[in-house]
Amino acid sequence: MWSYTFRRILATIPTLLAVVTVCYLLLHGTPGGPFDDERKVSAAVLANLQAKYHLDLPLWQQYLYYLNSLLHGDLGASFRYADWSVNELVAKALPVSAAIGGGAIVISLLVGVFLGTVAALRQNSVVDYLVMLLGNAGHVFPSFVIGPVLILVFAVWLKVAPAGGWDDFSPRFMVLPMLLLIFINVATIGRVMRGSLIEVLHSNFIRTARAKGLPMRTVILRHAFKPALLPVVSVIGPLAITSITSAIVTESVFSLPGIGKLIVNGAANRDYTLVLGLVVLVTVIAVTLNLLVDLAYALLDPKIRY
């Protein structure tokens, strides 16, 4: 198991390196990019950039310095604001995104697996159709449509939740954003769980379990659940990635001071180095999440044990 883990970790390094390198080159290589002399920056910012990015050295040395600082956890300096480093901005924004995103994923898993199971066990019933409809809607409607509609319904018409904003982790401001994320995630998780449970229930080993006279509850919980969960686990990886995308939109829609908002504002401001640093950070998070999912999958499936 450990050697598998180790090898998976090794496999992620080329991806990370590739992303960082491509982004870095994009930044430096494009004409009209930030490091051309044409861009006018304030003296203070320039001094900062010089110190952090070693702009007077040849490109390959700059690159190595950059990698080095990344490995030390230093994400760089802002291009616009002399007194903010990327790390400082991240430290304030990450907890917000983590709280909303993390909470949403956990709740989505529980709700999605539950709904998918119920739908599978009561195929073609009202519950099943509702779950499928929900799944379809969450899948087709874009997050930036569902979000404002949620605000319209709950904040403007029903007035039960604030339309956005943030108040130091106060729950009122977390409900609607989490609801949006949960809706989108449950759509996928519910559908996958339903499909995979239905398929598992048709397999030969379930027939054997029933032939042994085991009660349906045992058959489902002990025999069917684990194999049915495998496709769900394997879908969490891509889901986490799209969640990051959804998070960016969500924070925009609800004006939440998280990483997503930071990226969007940075992009609007053309704060290149900030965006670069954030992109690297989020990619690392995404790749790590994917790795964890792969490991979870290996834990569940006894056939994958090297």
Partner 1 sequence: MLFKNKDKQDQLVAALGRAVESAAADIHGRSPWADARGRFLRNKAAVFSLGLLAFITVCCVVGPWLLPNAFDAADWDAMSLPPMLKGWHFFGTDESGRDLLVRSLVGGRVSLLVGFLATLSAVTLGIVWGATAGFIGGKVDAFMMRVVDMMYAVPYLLIAILMVTILGRAFYLVVITITVFSWMDMARVVRGQTLSLRSKEFIEAARALGVPTRRIIFQHIVPNLLGIVVIYTTVTVPAVILVESVLSFLGLGIQEPMTSWGVLIHDGASVMEVSSWMLLFPAGLLSLTLYCFNYIGDGLRDALDPKER
Partner 2 sequence: MSLIEVNNLGVQFKTQDGLVYAVNGINFALERGQTLGIVGESGSGKSQSVLAMMGLLAGNGKATGQALYKGQDLLAMKPAELNKIRGNRVAMIFQDPMTSLNPYLTVERQMTEVLQFHKGFDRKSARARSVQLLDAVKIPEAARRITMYPHEFSGGMRQRVMIAMALLCEPEVLIADEPTTALDVTVQAQIIALLRDLQRDFGTAIIMITHDLGVVAGLCDEVMVLYGGRVMEQGSADSIFYGASHPYTVGLLGAIPRLDAGDEALVAIPGSPPNMARLPEGCPFSERCTLASAQCRDVMPALLPAAHNPAVLRACHKSVEAVSELAAKGAIHA
- Rule CB under 8 A: which residues touch partner 1? 12, 14-15, 18-19, 23, 26-27, 30, 32-34, 136, 139-145, 147-149, 151-152, 156, 163, 238, 241-242, 244-245, 248-249, 252-253, 263-264, 266-268, 270, 272, 275-276, 278-279, 282-283, 286-287, 290
Which of 65, 210, 264, 297 contacts partner 2 by CB under 8 A? 210
Residue 282: closest CA among 298, 258, 255, 302? 258
Shortest Å, Cβ 212 to partner 1: 27
* Subset of residues 284 to 303 that bind partner 2, contact rule: CB under 8 A: 300-303
Residue 141 binding partner per list partner 1, partner 2, none, with a CB distance cut-off of 5 to 8 Å that depends on partner kind: partner 1
Residue 145 binding partner per list partner 2, partner 1, none, with a CB distance cut-off of 5 to 8 Å that depends on partner kind: partner 1
Shortest Å, Cβ 218 to partner 1: 28
Shortest Å, Cβ 263 to partner 1: 6
How many Cβ atoms are within 10 Å of 96's Cβ, its own excluded? 24
Shortest Å, Cβ 145 to partner 1: 4
Residue 278 binding partner per list partner 2, partner 1, none, with a CB distance cut-off of 5 to 8 Å that depends on partner kind: partner 1
Scanning 122-171, the segments in alpha helix (DSSP H) are 126-140, 143-150
Residue 248 binding partner per list partner 2, partner 1, none, with a CB distance cut-off of 5 to 8 Å that depends on partner kind: partner 1
Give 261: exposed, middle or buried? Use CB within 10 Å, 0-12, 13-18, 19+: buried
Which of 109, 115, 209, 220 contacts partner 2 by CB under 8 A? 209
* Residue placing its CB nearer to partner 2 in the complex, 39 or 207: 207
* Residue placing its CB nearer to partner 1 in the complex, 77 or 287: 287
**C-alpha to C-alpha distance for 130 and 127, rounded to whole angstroms:** 5
* Subset of residues 118 to 157 that bind partner 2, contact rule: CB under 8 A: none
* Subset of residues 214 to 233 that bind partner 2, contact rule: CB under 8 A: 214-216, 218, 222-223, 226-227
Q: Taken in order 105, 225, 128, 215, is the CA torsion positive or negative? A: negative
Which of 212, 245, 267, 299 contacts partner 2 by CB under 8 A? 212
Cross-strand partners of 77: 85
Shortest Å, Cβ 78 to partner 1: 13
Give 195: exposed, middle or buried? Use CB within 10 Å, 0-12, 13-18, 19+: middle
Give 91: exposed, middle or buried? Use CB within 10 Å, 0-12, 13-18, 19+: exposed
* Residue placing its CB nearer to partner 1 in the complex, 14 or 58: 14
Q: Quick check: 216 and 187 in contact, CB under 8 A?
A: no
Task: Tell me the residue ranges of DSSP E strands in the chain.
Answer: none
Q: Quick check: 262 and 159 in contact, CB under 8 A?
A: no
Q: How far is CA 61 from CA 14, 21, 56, 139, in A?
A: 20, 13, 10, 45
Residue 61 binding partner per list partner 2, partner 1, none, with a CB distance cut-off of 5 to 8 Å that depends on partner kind: none
Shortest Å, Cβ 193 to partner 2: 16
Q: What are phi and psi of 77, to 5 degrees?
A: -115, 155
Cross-strand partners of 85: 77
Residue with structure tokens 């066990």?
121
The angle that helices 172-201 and 126-140 make with each other, rounded to 10 degrees, is 120
